[in-house]
Chains A and B, each alone.
Chain A
């Protein structure tokens, strides 16, 4: 940990987005599983995720970012799925 000589003046943080160094994924009790076959790429999961943990590339969602996902399950609940089959289901972490 920093000594008093090393802490920045006024505690000002000069590295934007440094929260990325803190992996909140360890908080999970449940983890979301993406089922691509049922995914209509609506991106609702992406827009509703409180932790920016749905990775998107070229306008399409890819995997979850398990480094940060807290397992809240909003994505699974909001997922419209395809023909009644969800593209996201919650499983117990560690299964």
Chain B
């Protein structure tokens, strides 16, 4: 049933897409996500999937084609990074506003300028308010698993929203890792058949998509969309439970690693969580109570659940692989701070910006962070709320 392989994140996502067997993919190449579609189009050219491709002339047109195809009434997927996602930015809002299930694999990459092709979260973070569901992956296994779940999630009748699944560009997308496939039939049955709502191709019931909505109704549409988003975490958990049945792997809204009895903790997403967990284990061996929270569902952000998970800690450092310009804190920090704000008793919360543009996150960075947390927990002195680590001073 499960085959253990050595694969990179791009292959993992491409394979998940193959299993989902979309009806249409609108795509455009961009490093480091290009390989996803390259592998996928090999499946297309060899008849392994029924997908018809639209090899668009830009990412904006790729997403526009995905939107047209999804409204026409079928399963749609694509993949991109960084500038590509930035170019399709207006269409992301349109996809979610029109309530179209589309799945997009993201090899998270830094935004220009300066142009950089390596991994950080500035692309996904730049689009965190676009109304898509955002899932983040630590490794190729999670990329495979989350892509499979993404189709089921996007197409769920209580959801009908587009989903983007992010993995670190190059670090996860290109590094070969051990992971397990799930056999095609089981995984395909898990995802299920696509069901359409208001398909354009149903010519007996003509529909109009995309009316002009003025000030008298726009806010009602936004509130309705907000309401749908608020129901997403429950569906994410239900789907994860089903997924556990076919894979043996448990997923939640976030991962809690040695957090229950921890006194200090790190909050970090994606591949850096892997490194951090290793160092946490080393500290734990010395009897130090440190833990980790790794967000998986980033949008909609599960504020209540995260607050409950972190409230007991003395000090928390949030590691952000993207920054918000303008003297603010990193985007993940802002969400964690919101999650903890209303607790009378809450941990000291500080922010590190790391790994931008593919700058390596090393074990000694994790050690530095944990040692600082322990110092804060002991004497309460915070030398700076926000610090860039791994940068040459």
Q: Do chains A and B touch in the complex (CB under 8 A)?
A: yes
Interface string of A33-63 (1 = CB under 8 A from B): 0000000000000000000000000000000
What are the interface flags for A4-34 relative to B under an 8 Å C-beta threshold, 1 for contact and 0 otherwise? 1101011111101000000000000000000
B208 within 8 A of A: yes
User: Chain B residue with minimal CB distance to A10?
Assistant: B99
Residues on B with beta carbons closer than 8 Å to the beta carbon of A7: 217, 220-221, 224
Q: Mark B189-224, 1 if CB is under 8 A from A, else 0.
A: 000000001100000011111110100110111011
Contact call A2/B209, Cβ cutoff below 8 A: no
- Say whether B208 contacts A2, CB under 8 Å: no
CA of A44 to CA of B366 in the docked complex: distance in angstroms? 80
Residue of A nearest to B200 (CB): A12
Contact of B227 with A14 in the complex, beta carbons under 8 Å: no
Interface size on A, residues (CB 8 A): 13
Q: Are A1 and B217 in contact (CB under 8 A)?
A: yes
Q: How far is the CB of B216 from chain A (nearest CB, A)?
A: 6
Within 8 A of A (CB), among B87-114: 97-100
What residues of B have a CB within 8 angstroms of the CB of A13 in the complex? 207-208, 211
Which chain B residue shows the least CB distance to A1?
Answer: B216
Interchain nearest-CB distance for A20 vs B (Å):
14
Would you call B208 and A10 a contact (CB within 8 A)?
A: no
The CA of A10 and the CA of B101, in the complex, are separated in Å by 11
Contact A16 B208 (CB under 8 A): yes
Select which of B98, B206, B209 is within 8 A of A16 by beta carbon.
B206
B386 at interface (Cβ–Cβ under 8 A)? no
Interface status of B160 (Cβ within 8 A of chain A): yes
Chain A residues whose C-beta falls within 8 Å of the C-beta of B99 in the assembled complex = 9-10, 12
Chain B hits for A12, CB < 8 A: 98-99, 198, 207-209
Contact with A along B215-246 (1 / 0, CB 8 A): 01101110110011000000000000000000
B160 touches A14 (CB 8 A): no
- Chain A residue at minimum C-beta to C-beta distance from B100: A10
Q: A residues bordering B, Cβ < 8 Å?
A: 1-5, 7, 9-14, 16
